[in-house]
Structure 1
């Protein structure tokens, strides 16, 4: 991702259920890696969901609220969204 095209993603996600980013480590020698996300109302439910998906391969499982993650992209999210999904005033 080039610094000149990088932009902060500030649009809210479509679903109002909190999103949790899932990180895991398969063994003690490797770094944590992002493996996906789950939607859940609480961290306990998020842990249950992430465990059912990834625990079989994870020595360590970390969860982080997606709202607390700074997301960046090189592509325009508006260009990828259908016209009906754009905020009022931004539709062409």
Structure 2
């Protein structure tokens, strides 16, 4: 990997992690459009088809710390998956 590419990658990862740390403190506490509409028309809540490991983007019992950790873990997992896919699809020059 070229030095310039490595610096760009590291910078992107740092920016993604900074956003993950700040997001819980900047996000609105109000429900999103879909949730608020469901509440207004009184749609009953049902069990999800698949259980999420970090439901509502948090680790239960940790408050804001759980939200930050969930976002950091999620960001790292997505970056690893993206790197794996790009490595698998990379063509030899």
**Fold match, TM over 0.5?**
no
Higher strand share: 1
Instruction: Place the TM-score, normalised by the shorter chain, in its bin.
Output: under 0.3
| Higher helix residue share | 2
Larger Rg: 2
TM-score (ref. length: structure 2): 0.25
